[in-house]
Amino acid sequence: MRLVFFAGGAAALAWQVLWSHHLGLALGASARGVALTVATAMLGMTIGALTCGRFLHRTRRTDPVKLYGLLELGIGLSAIIPGLTEKWIMSVDASVHGKIPWMATPFTLLSLALSIGPACFFMGATIPVMGLVARSLDAPLSRLYGWNTAGAAAGALFVSFALIPSLGLRGSALTLCFLHLVLALICGLIARRKDSGNVLPKENSPHDLPDEDSPPAAMPRWHGMVLVLITGVSTFVLEVVWFRALRSAWFSTSDSIAIMLFCFLIALAAGAAVAPSVRRLGVPLWLVMGMASLLVILSSAMIGRFDLIDAFQKGGAARQIYRLLAGLAVMGPPVALVGIILPTLLDAAKDPRGWAVLYGINTFGAVMGANLAAWILLEALGPDMTAWFVGGLLVAGACLLCRSWRLRGTLVALFFTLIAGVFPFHQREKNRAPGAERSVAGEVEMIELKHGPDATISVVGFEQGKALLINGFVATAQLSNARANYMDAMGRLPMLLHPDPRNALVICFGTGQTAHAVRDESPERLDLVDLNAAVFDMAHHFEANHDVLRDPRVRKIVMDGRAWLRRTDARYDVVTLEPMPPFFSGSNSLYSADFYRLVHSRLNPGGLLAQWFPLHLMSPDQAIAIAATFAEVFPESILWMDPGSGDRSGLPQQGILIGQRPVEGGSVAGEFWQQWPGFLRPSGMGSRPITAEDARRNLILSPAQLNYFAKGGKLITDDNQYLEYSVSVYRDKDLRVGDTVRQIHVRLQSPPSR
Cβ atoms of residues 346 and 359 within 8 Å: yes
Encode pLDDT of 476-522 as tens digits: 888 877 666 889 999 999 999 999 999 999 999 999 999 999 999 99
Cβ atoms of residues 588 and 724 within 8 Å: yes
The architecture (CATH level 2) of 223-430 comes to: Up-down Bundle (1.20)
Residue 194 vs residues 134, 137, 496, 518: alpha-carbon distances, Å: 14, 11, 77, 72
Q: In 3D, which of 653, 613, 623, 637 has the Cα closest to residue 723?
A: 623
The architecture (CATH level 2) of 1-195 comes to: Up-down Bundle (1.20)
Q: Which pLDDT value is given to residue 484? A: 63
Domain boundaries, the chain: 1-195, 223-430, 442-480, 482-748
Q: Could you give the angle at the alpha carbon of 397 between the alpha carbons of 235 and 371, nearest 5°?
A: 35
- 554: phi then psi, degrees, rounded to nearest 5: -95, 135
Exposure on the CB side of residue 42, measured as CA atoms within 13 A: 22
Report if pTM > 0.85: yes
421: which residues sit within 8 A by CB, 6+ positions away? none
551: which residues sit within 8 A by CB, 6+ positions away? 519, 526
Question: In whole angstroms, what is the distance from residue 80 CA to residue 354 CA?
Answer: 31
Concatenating the DSSP letter of every residue in 168-186 gives HHHHHHHHHHHHHHHHHHH
Strands 503-507 and 572-577: parallel
Q: Which residues of the chain have pLDDT under 50?
A: 196-215, 217, 667-669
Same CATH topology for 1-195 and 482-748: the answer is: no
Q: Which pLDDT value is given to residue 395? A: 95
Residue 21: strand pairing partners: none
3-class secondary structure for 471-482?
A: CCEEEEEEECCC
Q: In 3D, which of 686, 345, 348, 690 has the Cα closest to residue 495?
A: 690
Q: In 3D, which of 261, 410, 249, 235 has the Cα closest to residue 335?
A: 235
Q: Which pLDDT value is given to residue 253? A: 85
Q: Which pLDDT value is given to residue 206? A: 40
Q: Which pLDDT value is given to residue 252? A: 83
Question: In whole angstroms, what is the distance from residue 215 CA to residue 187 CA?
Answer: 28
Rg (CA), the chain: 28
Q: Which pLDDT value is given to residue 734? A: 55
Exposure on the CB side of residue 670, measured as CA atoms within 13 A: 9
Q: Which pLDDT value is given to residue 730? A: 54
Question: In whole angstroms, what is the distance from residue 87 CA to residue 91 CA?
Answer: 6
CATH 3.10.450.50 corresponds to the domain 482-748: no
Other CB atoms within 10 A of residue 7 CB: 21
Helix, strand or coil, per DSSP, at residue 635: coil
